[in-house]
Amino acid sequence: MSGYHCGSSLLIALPDDVFAIVSRSLSPRDVCYLSLCCRSLHALASSEKVWLSQCEMVGVVTDRDLIEWRNGVSSYKALCRFLVSVCPLIGIWVHQNPELGNVVYVMPGFVSVVGCRIIPQELGPLGLEDGPILWAPVFEIVGDFDGSTAFFLHGREKDTDYFYPGLLKPVERACNVLLLEVEPQQHCGGKLLHSKSFIHSDRDLSRKISRSDSGISKSQRVICTTRPMVSFSRLAFGDRRKLLEVVTNLARLKVPDLANGPLFPGLRDDDGNFKKDMVLLSERRLMLMQMYKLGEGRIDWESAPGLPSDPARMELSKIKKSLDRVGSWQSSANLEEGHSQSPKRRTVAGYFKDSLKQMLGRSISVNGRASSRNGTSSSETKYAQLHEFLRSGDTIGLSLNACSMKLSTYRAWPNMHDNRFALYKLPVRIPKADEEYAGLWGGTFGWPPGKPTEDKPGKALFFLLLSYEEDSEGQRLLIATKILEGTHYVLHPNGSAMFIVKVDEPSVDPFPWDTDGNSIPVEVKHAYNGEGIANGYGFRYPGSKPGSLFVIQNELLAFIWKESKAVLTLQRLDLRELLKKGERVPALPPVANFSYLTKSYSNVFAGFSNTSYCLSSPR
């Protein structure tokens, strides 16, 4: 004990600046534990300098940006809470559909992170320097004054932009899958209780209730803790899709004019414009949090409190008709159950219940394809029933679930589920001495890079993720996996290896050109043997032909196919900087905007009204 007092006295005696440096060897959780030891250490561990150091260690934004973000929260401790919760989301997320690319890059905004979809596109004669890269918003996670989070899905319906508020579930540190779900929650004693996906055990839930709701009777506590919880993932795909459609239609909020401002600040090159962006971002964030706190996107499907009667009745009526059309439900089923239309004015809850009942009926008919002798369907053991899911909570709403799943990969591309509204994270390796070409690269076909021709004024933009692997013989391979393609109709599947290079096998082939587009002599630093993608057995099984990868000055890579002399030229990308000077285009409808599950080999993002975005027109 005396040793402890001696150690704590030494820590307390340290100047704030020195203790802040020492605390960098601790995690945020360790600092919290330290503050519980005694009052003196609590004051020391709660200082702004200590938590500023912790924010810097998280590494989401630069030290300069941290100062700007601090103006939007109560303390650096609150800011650290937000940064820790969203840090695992930063990076590149993908889905295999559509084949031209479904790449979402999550980057910092202002006390927020923003998911931005990179639109398949062509580049002009100067490549990435010729014009802004096109992107569309997918979702935002905004930090509140105390560091808590609010989730907003973006979407566009009938030429109108909407927000779709929801919950962000606790983010797993090693998350590799991002799921859009509907989350049921329970009310107990007037307070909202998270489902078991938020709480690890019934014992924890009981303890949580007993501490915060001591006035609730024992019988009420038993009901809250024993109500069975059904995971959204256990529902059949059709039920999950319909639930997402219903909830997004009910929870949507029209985007105010002020919220149409920037989602993240531009480049700091122009200090005046940067300061204007920060003012707009601050005002926009306050408005978003006010909108979120009014309803949080939760829908009470028993009574639907707080919804204006007439507009909500009209909206629910439209949803009911759309669900009838999607699911091919018959109104006669409703009459058979004695739910005939009454001339009496119906409530919001009545419309919503009817929609859900029709969904339940459709769910039973879809899941009950094969019946056993006891009358239960064989698939009931595989899928949970929709009514069981709805009974597990008093309210339902959107949620974003960043979880960790065991995934198999093929050449750095994850094998994905076809029926989950999900995005999959690509692990982008940091370049190091023996893996110097790892990371994200972008470019086009042709030499000089991006030079147009008379018959093709624009060049398709490709994003490639370069990673290293070892083959069965122990040879080190550099694999270039395609994650985005800007053609009119896809030529190479998502996840294709555009080329595979043996990094321990030098190439003796000469580079075909002496100068680049600026008549500067080409200096080849390294050359490696490899194979490039070629037409093969079917679209999903392309063949390969020999080629060479050349490393050129100014950090350029060029892969050349020996037979055809085609050349793919690449440069390293900084997506965050590209998006800051990019051009925003409208989003898709909300559920499809998150992950477009429909198989497509053409550009599904090309139907925007934005006149500056047209792949068929010269740039």
Give the helix/strand (H/E) hosting 122.
strand 122-123
| Encoded tokens for 151 | 């989730």
CA 596, CA 136: separation in Å to the nearest integer?
14
Q: Rounded mean pLDDT of the chain? A: 78
Distance CA 75, CA 131 (A): 39
Structure tokens at 350: 């009545």
Please determine, for residue 599, whether its predicted confidence score (pLDDT) is greater than 70.
Answer: yes
Q: Give CA–CA dist 304/347, Å, rounded.
A: 9
Q: How confident is the model at residue 378 (pLDDT cuts 50, 70, 90)?
A: very low
Sign for the CA dihedral angle at 35, 39, 45, 48 comes to: positive
Q: Is the dihedral of CA 539, 540, 544, 549 positive or negative?
A: positive
Do 317 and 351 meet the contact criterion of CB atoms below 8 Å apart?
A: yes
Give the strand pairing for 191-193 and 149-157: unpaired
Q: Is the pLDDT of residue 27 over 50?
A: yes
From 117, 125, 114, select the one nearest 608 (Cα to Cα).
Answer: 117
Rounded to whole angstroms, the Cα distance separating 545 from 171 reads 43
Please state which CATH class domain 2-84 belongs to. Answer: mainly alpha
Cα atoms in the 13 Å half-sphere on the side-chain side of 89: 29
Backbone CA torsion sign across 308, 313, 319, 323: positive
SS3 per residue for 551-568: EECCCEEEEEECCCCCEE
Q: How far is it, in rounded angstroms, from Cα 216 to Cα 210?
A: 8
Model confidence pLDDT, tens digit, residues 61-80: 999 999 999 999 999 999 99
From CA 28, how far away is CA 23, in angstroms rounded?
9
Q: Greater confidence, 175 or 412?
A: 175
The reported pLDDT for the residue numbered 79 is: 97
Read off φ and ψ for residue 209, nearest 5 degrees. Answer: -70, -45
Domain ranges of the chain: 2-84, 303-393, 429-573
Could you check whether the bond before residue 98 is cis, i.e. omega within 30 degrees of 0?
yes
Q: What is the pLDDT of residue 259?
A: 83
- A 10 A CB-CB count for 415 gives 11
pLDDT for residue 166 is more than 80: yes
pTM of the model: 0.81
